[in-house]
Amino acid sequence: MSRFHEIKHRVATTFQRHVGNPLLSRLPNQAILETTGRRSGLARQTPIGGSRVGREFWIVSEFGEKSQYVRNIQADPRVRVRLKGQWHTGTAHLLPDDDPRARLKALPRFNSAAVQAIGTNLLTIRVDLDD
């Protein structure tokens, strides 16, 4: 990763951790991804932008395998997703062969624009929902 991308990643994740995520988590219709912490074993919740299509929920991570929630998925792919106030269980799949820029065109516009602007290593994730 270039020095510029490293700084961009550090600034973005610090902002998300301390400002963006705490605010977004309080919004009742904000989608939330819950993973299990790979070291702590505790539930970790991350506000996300994505879209449900049938029994699948699609996300694009802006920092790919550097995202903490992606690292958690690698350790344990069982997740929960809160959609419109309802929790759904499922299994997350990292899709490095999917075209994340094309995928973003099918996801919510505002979030997709932010992911493209901030992202340095886009990665598509599909959650197969149990219900």
Cα–Cα nearest to 64, from 7, 119, 103: 119
Residues facing 2 on adjacent strands: none
* 26-85 per-position pLDDT tens digit: 556 789 999 999 999 999 999 998 999 999 999 999 889 989 999 999 999 999 999 999
Report the candidate in 51, 50, 46, 49 with the shortest Cα–Cα distance to residue 22: 46
Average pLDDT over residues 107-126: 85
- Of 37, 71, 77, 60, whose CA–CA distance to 120 is shortest? 60
Q: Which residue's structure tokens are 């516009």?
A: 109
| 91 has a pLDDT exceeding 90 | yes
Q: Note the pLDDT of residue 15.
A: 54
Helix (H) or strand (E) holding 21: helix 21-25
Q: What is the pLDDT of residue 2?
A: 81
pLDDT surpasses 60 at 128: yes
**Distance of alpha carbon 111 from alpha carbon 118, whole angstroms:** 10
What's the mean per-residue pLDDT of the chain? 86
3-class DSSP assignment, residue 87? strand
CA 103 to each of CA 16, 18, 21, 25, 49: distance values in angstroms, whole numbers, following the listed order: 22, 28, 23, 24, 12
What pLDDT, on a 0 to 100 scale, did the predictor assign at position 68?
93
